[in-house]
Amino acid sequence: MEQGRVAVVVGGASGIGAAIATAFESDGWRVVVADLPATDVTDEDSVAAMLDGVVASHGRLDVVVNSAGVSTLGNVVDLAVDEWRRVVDVCLTGAFIVTKQAGLRLSAGGAIISLSSLNARQPGAGLAPYCASKAGLSMLTQVAALELAPRGIRVNAIAPGLVVTPLTQPAMDIPGIEDDYLENTPLGRSGRPDEIASAALYLATAEWVTGEVLDINGGAHLMRYPDLHKHVLAAFS
C-alpha cells in the first residue's frame, strides 16, 4: 500500500469506529478520529471545518469513514416526532452531510465508507427511524457512487448484523434479545468489531468496487429480525 494515505473515521471514539481506526493505523495509514463533542455530523459547518483541518494538516484526504449512529425504541404510533428526527438527523442526514463534505475534498481515487445495518434490509418492530435511516443510507450510497465516479471516488457501505458494542450493549442486557439474534443468525454467533474493520479496510483499497452495501451478518439476512420490542415489554412490564 502507498504510504502516507490519510483516513478520517467519524464516530471513531468507540465500538466499531474505534476498531476501524485501529485497523487503518495498523495498516500504515495516518488516521484522524472525529467524534463528539468536536465534530457533530448533524452540523454541516462542524463537519466541513473538521475536514478542512485534516487537509490543512496532512495535505490530502484519501478515505472518510462515517460510523456515527444512534437509535431508539418505540412503536410508530407512540414515537415522538422529535425522537424520530434525532435518529434520522444522525443516521441519515448526518451521513449525507459527511458524504457531501467528503466528496468535495477527497483526493482522486479516494473512498467514502458508511456504516449501515442489517436494518437496511430487515424491518425491526420499534425501530422505525433507525430502519428507515439505514434503508435510505443504502440508496444514498448508490446515488453518491454514481455521481462521484467520474472523479474516481468510490462510495460504499457496510451493513453489520449483531456486533456487541457500547451502542448495542444496553439491548443485549435485556433477557432474550441476544438469544433471539443468535437463533436467527445461521453462523450462530455475533460479529466482532475487528471483522467489520477488516471490511472497511478492504473497501478503502478495492479500486473496482463502488455502490456496494456489504452485508456482514453471519447470514442473518437470510432469516428474520428479532422482535426487540416484545423482549423489552416482557422485561419491563
Count Cα atoms within 13 angstroms, Cβ side, for 103: 21
Q: Give me the phi and psi of 118, to 5 degrees please.
A: -50, -30
Rg (CA), the chain: 17
Long-range contacts (CB closer than 8 Å, 24 or more residues apart) made by 124-128: 124/225, 124/226, 124/227, 124/228, 125/75, 125/227, 125/228, 125/229, 125/230, 126/73, 126/74, 126/75, 126/228, 126/229, 126/232, 127/71, 127/72, 127/73, 127/228, 128/74, 128/75, 128/76, 128/79, 128/84
Q: What is the pLDDT of residue 171?
A: 86
Q: What is the pLDDT of residue 2?
A: 47
Range of the domain at 211: 6-232
pLDDT tens per residue, range 61-102: 999 999 999 999 999 999 999 999 999 999 999 999 999 999
Structure-block grid coordinates of residue 67:
460510523
Candidates 69, 71, 82; CA nearest to 126 is: 71
- Strands of the chain, DSSP E: 6-10, 30-34, 63-66, 111-115, 154-160, 213-216
pLDDT tens per residue, range 144-198: 999 999 999 999 999 999 998 887 888 889 999 999 999 999 999 999 999 999 9
Domain count, the chain: 1
**Is 115:95 a contact under the CB 8 Å cutoff?**
no
Tell me the C-alpha distance between 134 and 116, whole Å: 6
Domain contains 1: no
Domain contains 192: yes
225 assigned to active site:
no
Domain contains 237: no
pLDDT tens per residue, range 31-62: 999 999 999 999 999 999 999 999 999 999 99
140: CATH: 3.40.50.720
Q: What is the pLDDT of residue 168?
A: 85
Residues facing residue 34 across a β-bridge:
10
Tell me the C-alpha distance between 68 and 138, whole Å: 15
Q: Is the pLDDT score of 3 beyond 70? A: no
Residue with cell 431508539: 72
Set 130, 181, 202, 225: catalytic member: 130
Domain contains 18: yes
90 three-state secondary structure? helix
Percentage above 70 pLDDT, the chain: 99
Q: Compute the mean pLDDT over every residue in the chain, rounded to the nearest whole number.
A: 95
Candidates 49, 46, 63, 48; CA nearest to 9 is: 63
Inter-CA distances, 103 with 85, 97, 119, 141, Å: 25, 10, 25, 12
Q: What is the pLDDT of residue 59?
A: 95
